[in-house]
Structure 1
Amino acid sequence: MKAETALFAGVSFFFATCATVYGWLSREPAGTAALVIACLMSALVALFLWRQHEKAGPLPQDRKDAAVHQTVGPVAFFPPRSAYPPLAALGTALLGAGVVYGLWLFLLGAGILAPGVWGFVFQYGKRGT
């Protein structure tokens, strides 16, 4: 987590510098506020990662002498095939188009999206038991 902390601290410093220069040269409050918010968000992530590094200690990825098998986490289960991702994608597309074209298409998209999400969640629900 040491490298991630340094990365987000650098991003925060970059946004702080940009916000200072932009605010001083442009005198435009909206862009300055957006850059300040981006600085604060990346600083929050850097602070979180630093605290996690302090609590948990160095990860194997932080050591130069770590073996590859030490840095690998648990391997998850990935289903070989499923009809639910295309169903959820179609439902999401129709839902988005329904916002533009009308309530009837929005409701049709919601009706297609609901079983797609349901299948995503519960298709392999009993796999571990």
Structure 2
Amino acid sequence: MKEQGKIFMGFAVFILAMAITYGIWSKEPAGTTALFLAFGLCAFIGYYLGFTAKRVDTGAGDNPEAEVADDAGEVGFFAPHSWQPLSLAIGGAMAFMGVIFGWWLLYWSIPIILIGLYGWVFEFYRGENQNQ
């Protein structure tokens, strides 16, 4: 994680330099704002990865002598099937269409998004917070 944090902080420094250069030369506020927001995003991610690397064990990515097999093992639990991403996609598509066709479409899309989000978060909770 330490190496990924350094990479993202390097991206952040580069994007900051480009944002300043672009802002001075172009005098265009939208692109300059987008570049400064990209700088902030890279800085946040780099700081988080660097901060977290101090708390966890050194991973295979931080060891220059590591083999590919050193990083093998269980990554986590992933749902084998779920309908919730489909409802989120439909609700998100409707919300974006609301920007185009009219804001009234958000009255139907926001409940679909909230139902899909709630269903995805609590999909595997049964009974007393049981993970099945």
Which bin holds the TM-score, normalised by the shorter protein? 0.5 to 0.7
Kindly provide the CA deviation profile for residues 74-104 of structure 1, in whole angstroms up to 9, marking residues without a partner as x: 432222222222222222222332343242x
Separation in structure 1 between the aligned mates of residue 114 and residue 28 of structure 2, nearest angstrom: 42
- Comparing both structures, which one devotes a greater share of its residues to helix? 1
**2:11 maps to what in 1?**
11
Equivalent residues, number = 127
Q: Highest CA radius of gyration, 1 or 2?
A: 1
2:107 counterpart letter in structure 1: L
Shift of residue 123, structure 1, vs aligned partner = 2.2
Which runs of structure 2 are paired with 1:53-68 in the superposition (5 Å)? Answer: 53-54=53-54, 56=56, 58-68=58-68
Which runs of structure 2 are paired with 1:1-129 in the superposition (5 Å)? Answer: 1-22=1-22, 26=25, 28=27, 30=29, 35=35, 38-39=38-39, 41-54=41-54, 56=56, 58-72=58-72, 74-99=74-99, 100-103=101-104, 105-126=105-126, 127-128=130-131
Structure 2 gap segments, 5+ residues each: none
Q: What is the aligned-residue identity percentage?
A: 28
Q: Are the counterparts in 2 of residues 9 and 46 from structure 1 also a CA contact under 8 Å? A: yes
Q: Are the counterparts in 2 of residues 91 and 109 from structure 1 also a CA contact under 8 Å? A: yes
Structure 1 gap segments, 5+ residues each: none
2:76 counterpart letter in structure 1: A
Separation in structure 2 between the aligned mates of residue 23 and residue 73 of structure 1, nearest angstrom: 46
Q: Are the counterparts in 2 of residues 98 and 107 from structure 1 also a CA contact under 8 Å? A: no
2:131 counterpart letter in structure 1: G
CA RMSD of aligned residues (A): 3.4
- Of 58-67 and 33-42, deviating more is 33-42
Give the TM-score of the pair, scaled to structure 2. 0.63
CA distance change for structure 1 residues 122 and 49 in 2, over 3 Å: closer, same or farther? closer
Give the TM-score of the pair, scaled to structure 1. 0.63
